[in-house]
Amino acid sequence: MTSAPPYRLDIHGSDHHGENAALRERGPVALVELPGGLTAWAVTGHDELQSLLADARVAKNPGNWNALQEGRVPADWPLLGMITIPGMTSADGEDHRRLRGLVSRGFTPRRVEALRPQVEAIVAELLDRMATLAPGPVDLREHFAYPLPMRVIGELLGIPEELRDELHEHSGVVVRSSATPEQAIAAQRGLFGVLGAVAAERRAQPGDDLTSDLIAAREAGESGPGDRLSEQEVVGTMMLMLIAGHATTLNLITNAVRALTAFPEQRELVRSGAVPWSAVVEETLRYDSPVNHFLMRFALDDIEIGGVVIRRGDGILASYTAAGRDPRHYEEADRFDVTREPNRHLSLGHGLHFCLGAPLARLEAEVALRELYARFPQVRAVGEPVPIASFLSNSVQTLPVTLKG
């Protein structure tokens, strides 16, 4: 156990990469302070994080968190909702297998590839609208990076278009570590209220969407009662799919454009055809992961990792952005290099909880970036970026760009 006091995470996320560098100086596993004086271990080293994500001695169920069981986590703790959402990210063992098996049917490689024409059509429509705003500046997040993944996941879940902006606002608060308890609770209630109403509508009038599929599995079961989802699990799973299905891709596209602005020689490599756009997506995931710290895992036993002992019942953060720039694992880790080979990273997870939506996120980002730079070859970010006020999400609140060409 380290004798150093815990590093207090900046709830406003003012400088993720600077903070992560300071954390790595403490070692690949560092004790950090969360809001409310709670502590957890941040695993910032690439190799240590990869090992942890595949370790059977680590669980996701918050019932294994000592602080929660001992009453040290207030009922209005702003981040509690992110940890206790009923669904895959808070389940282990058979419960996780059951939930993941039901959801995974919507994200098979064949079903994702079948979405390509739809993604391309949405991208073309959004770029047509942006052309009317040229030369800008225009907020790329608002007009392009956000509506693409939200429309795709909204249609997959059967969420009416008029509800999507409200859900986006609520989800942004839920993942904001700087939110007050009142804001966090209101956002959580808003999400569950809206999604619960959508689920009720789909139960009454099933459609060709994943929500209807989840409800059908809950109502009927497909291989026995064990396959059924509870009411909370249906809405919780919808919530997780909504947040993961649009917020991370939104950040990914935004961060890629920022990186290509900062490294114009890399942009030209891709535009010339020397490097595929898929390489930009992978290098962005490594260089500027959409998720900074992911809440939370819990030690089922004492675990020695990175020179420290994480005690049974301790909370653990998966520090994806920090691991992506671990200089022990990557040469010139702070350089954006689309020719990097090999370029394996952990930004989409590893092991049993690897991101189910990874193929869809990659498809959306690749098509979006390819078509954006085909239409506006000289697009570049301008102005001073304002980070999202959270140590969980890693991106900026707005991305003004100029559109030339």
Confidence of residue 3 (pLDDT cuts 50, 70, 90): low
CA distance 232 to 188: 13
pLDDT for residue 186 is more than 50: yes
What is the distance between the alpha carbons of residues 248 and 284, in angstroms, rounded to a whole number? 12
Q: At what angle do helices 210-220 and 231-262 cross, to 10 degrees?
A: 150
Better-predicted residue by pLDDT, 225 or 253: 253
Strand partners, 398: none
CA-wise closest residue to 238 among 149, 119, 165, 158: 158
Q: Residue 262: which pLDDT band, with cuts at 50, 70 and 90?
A: very high
Token couple for 384 = 């001073």
Predicted pLDDT at 102: 82
Angle in degrees, CA 326, 23, 280, rounded to 5: 35
Model pLDDT for residues 342-385, shown as the tens digit of each residue: 899 999 999 888 888 899 999 999 999 999 999 999 999 999 99
Residues in the chain: 405
Which residues fall within 8 angstroms of residue 184, CB to CB, at 6 or more apart?
76, 78, 79, 80, 81, 173, 174, 176
Asked if residue 120 lies in contact with residue 374, where contact means CB atoms within 8 angstroms, the answer is no
Element (H, E) at 266: helix 264-271
Mean per-residue pLDDT, 45-53: 97
Check residue 291 and report its DSSP letter.
Answer: B
The residue to which tokens 């290509």 are assigned:
260
CB 89 within 8 A of CB 60: yes
Q: How large is the average pLDDT for residues 86-104?
A: 85
Q: What percent of the chain has pLDDT over 90?
A: 81
pLDDT per residue over 109-155, tens digit each?
Answer: 888 899 999 999 999 999 999 999 989 899 999 999 999 999 999 99
* pLDDT digit string, tens, across residues 309-339: 999 999 999 999 999 999 999 999 999 999 9
Tell me which of 99 and 335 has the higher pLDDT: 335
Whole-angstrom distance, CA of residue 158 vs CA of residue 282: 29
Token digits for 56? 């059977």
pLDDT tens digits, 193-237: 999 999 999 999 999 898 998 888 766 554 444 556 788 888 998
Which one, of 324, 401, 405, lies nearest residue 144 by Cα? Answer: 401
Burial class (CB in 10 A: 0-12, 13-18, 19+), 230: exposed
Q: Do 91 and 99 form a contact (C-beta atoms < 8 A)?
A: yes
Can you tell me the distance from the alpha carbon of 83 to that of 178, in angstroms, rounded to the nearest whole number?
A: 16
What CA–CA distance (Å, rounded) separates 186 from 81?
11
What band does 1 get if pLDDT is binned at 50, 70 and 90? Answer: very low
